[in-house]
Structure formats: structure tokens, C-alpha cells
Amino acid sequence: MSQRVNLNLKNELFLYGAKDWNQCFQCGNCTATCHTTENGFFFPRKTVRQVLMGLKKSLQINIDPWLCTYCGDCSKTCPRDANPAEMMMSIRRYLISVYDWTGISKLLYKSKKLEVASIFLLATIVMILYLLFTTFPSGAAARWIGPDGGALINKMAPWRRIHLGDWIMAAGLITLIVTNVFYMWYKIIYEDKSLKLGFIDYLRPISLLPKIFHPDKKYAKCDEKKLFLYWSLHLFLALSYALMFTIIVFFLGWFQTDNVYPIYHPQRFLGYISTIGLFVGIIYFYTNRTIKNMENSKYSHFTDWTFLILLFSTTLTGILLHFFRILGWPQLTYITYLLHLMVLVPMLTIEVPFSKWSHMIHRPFSLYFAYLKKLAIINHKIILNNCT
């Protein structure tokens, strides 16, 4: 594949968190150490080599950064302290911006001020809409308390109005996610002219579904013994996040109720499980990034911290909202609900399609595209054998 050398590629990647690329002298020790390396996928030397040579087009169709388990073994054994693991993570951030056809990811990753300003702008819009379409509980407190003793949250903020906002936001997010994944396919599969795939080939990876939703077994081969706990909590956090997102977006009428159910009721039980998963994950990953006791948490991009702060604020305000409601404190319920939405909406709107949380979407599809690449290689070998 012929292409122009981009001499500015290394400098561009500095803005995505990469360190000094010149530290790497291509000894190959990282690839020899990596447990993910196999025929056709050489981690992370091939990717770093593309950056050093300025092969921007090759880098943009490279799927290796998404398949990297980020165990950090390569960085621990690097004789030059080039930190190849973090290089792969910086390239992931760069690739997120490549797949984003709107160009918003690129702007947010390159500017901390712009990301913070975007969060405050969205929070302000949410506040204005909330004050316009809800009712502050004024007058006698008894008017805002139900027979079970809980605050009548739907009298203040009717769930149908909130749900309409949910659906509008969800429609926008789904549109961005689908189009970004399509552009990811375009860059990785379509633009790689060496791949020869038929329609039936796209239907074969159904067997990969269990692997997509299960941690890669290769993590167990990494030297870092703490990785099992790391990825278990990572999975718990992701599932808790997905559960709460599903409840809010699709079952808000069931979840936002004026009734105070027993603690064992599914409405409360699922909410508690999700909240525990979020809080445990937040505390664990915050501690790792602060103490820096693991190779994959020694270096943090500012977007890593932004995500943790937004997720913590969303979880905390959600907990306070729940308890203020069941305790029958209408004014605090109303105010806390406003604060909850002011952090929840920016977190979803920014983090899911444009920033940290989008890797949850790109990684499963990367497994699918990797399978297609392997299948193309097999098909090519079969054709060569038939020709000879």
C-alpha cells in the first residue's frame, strides 16, 4: 500500500497522551514479551514502527491497539523505558478521533479547557430545560409527600417529560455510535485493499459473541497478578453502568416511581446492585491511578480523570436523590434531581460517543474485525494453494 510519509504524526500523537517516541529503538523486546502476539498481529512493535515512520494511513487501519490487553508487561521489560503499553493507549485515543466523523473527539482530546467548557455548557442547557418543564415543591410539604411517606417525584418532574429527553438523547447517541462504528469498518476493513471478503464471511463470527462479553483468557498469562481483580472489577463496573443506562433510558416509568417499595423489590434491588458496582469500580480505579501501583495505571490522560469525576458525581447524586425521595424531603429531592441530570447528561453525551467510554463499543467490534482479517488471510492462502 503506497502512501505519503507524515512527518508530523509523532507530534500529533503527543496531544493524545503519548510520551517520547524517540526512546524506542525497535529492539522487538515488547513483541517477544507480549502474550497477544500471533501470526499477523504483532504487539506493539508494528504499531510503534508505523508511528516512527510516519505511516498515518497504515496506523488508521491498524486494529492492534484495540486488541492490546494493556497488561503492561511490555513496558516493564522495555530496556529504554519507552512505555509501549501507554503508547498503545494514546493511539487508541487517536483512533477514536479517527473513527469520529464529526471531529468532536479530536477537539476534546486535544483541549482540556474545551472538554470542561463542553461539560458546563451541556449542564447549563439541562438546567434551563429542567426549570422550564418541572415544578419546584413550594407550599406545604404534605402536598408533595405520598401515602408511603416518600416524596412525589413525578409531581415535580413527570417521568414522561424526563423520558422524552432520554429518548432524544439516546437517539442522538445511537446515531453517533452507529455511524462511528460504520466509519471504523470503513477505515479498518474497506480501506485495506489487501482484504478479500465475501458477504457470507461477515456472518461467520457469530461464535465470537461469548468472547466479546467475556474477559480475554490471555489476561491470565500476564505477569501482573493483580490483573484478574482489575479486569473483574472493570467488567463489574461496565455491567453496572450498562444496567443503569438500560433502566433509565428504557424503563424510566418503572424506575422513577412515587411508590416506596421494599428493599428486596426488583426496582430497588437492581438499582442497589448497579450503584454498588459503580462505586466499587470508581474507588478501585481512582486508587490505582492515584497510587500508581500497576503498570496500566501509572499514566493518566486528563480524559481518564474527567470520566471518573463525572461518573462519581452521577453516582453520588443518584444515591442522594434516592434517599431524599424515600425519606420524604421534596425540596432536596427536586434540587438533587437537577444536579443529577446536570452531570449525567454531559457524561453520557461526551464520554459515550467521543471519549473514554467509547472503547466499550470499539473493542468488541475490533474483535469482530480482527476475525474478518484472519479469515481474509486464510481465504488468501486457500486461493494460493489452489493456484499451485
The last residue of a domain, from among 45, 72, 99: 99
One domain for residues 40 and 110: no
- Kindly state whether residues 92 and 124 are assigned to the same domain: no
Same domain, 42 and 114: no
Q: How many CA atoms lie within 13 A of 197 on its CB side?
A: 25
Three-state secondary structure call for residue 28: coil
Comparing CA positions, the residue from 19, 74, 11 lying closest to residue 295 is 74
Q: Are residues 95 and 108 in the same domain?
A: no
Q: Among 108, 116, 106, which residue's Cα sits nearest to residue 343?
A: 116
Distance CA 256, CA 340 (A): 13
Degrees, nearest 5: CA angle 199-214-74: 95
Do residues 172 and 264 share a domain?
A: yes
Q: What are phi and psi of 42, to 5 degrees?
A: -115, 105
At 215 the pLDDT is 46
pLDDT at 96: 92
- Check whether residue 82 and residue 137 sit in a common domain: no
In a domain, residue 31? The reply is yes
Tell me, what's the pLDDT at 297? 79
Position 335, amino acid: I
- The residue out of 83, 99, 115 marking a domain boundary is 99
Residue 63 burial (CB count, 10 A): 22
CA distance 364 to 209: 9
Residue 151 within a domain: yes
Query: Do both 264 and 163 map to the same domain?
Result: yes
Average pLDDT, consecutive stretches of 10 residues, N- to C-terminus, the chain (388 residues): 78 82 81 75 81 88 84 83 86 92 92 94 96 93 90 94 91 93 91 79 70 50 62 83 86 90 90 91 89 80 90 94 94 96 94 85 85 74 53
Question: Are residues 119 and 20 part of one domain?
Answer: no
Dihedral of CA 203/204/207/210: which sign?
Answer: negative
Residue 136 maps to a domain:
yes
Q: What is the pLDDT of residue 117?
A: 96
Which element (helix H / strand E) includes 247? helix 227-250
Of 99, 125, 149, the one marking the end of a domain is 99
Residue 238, CA distances (Å) to 296, 320, 360 in order: 18, 22, 8
Task: Say whether both 286 and 233 belong to one domain.
Answer: yes
Task: Please report the pLDDT score of residue 130 as a whole number.
Answer: 96
User: Is the same domain home to 59 and 183?
Assistant: no
Asked, for residue 1, whether it belongs to a domain, the answer is no
Q: Which amino acid is at 228?
A: F
What's the structural domain count of the chain? 2
- 245 and 288 both lie in a single domain: yes
Give me the sign of the Cα torsion angle 169, 265, 157, 131: negative
85 and 145 share one domain: no
- Domain of residue 34: give its range: 9-99
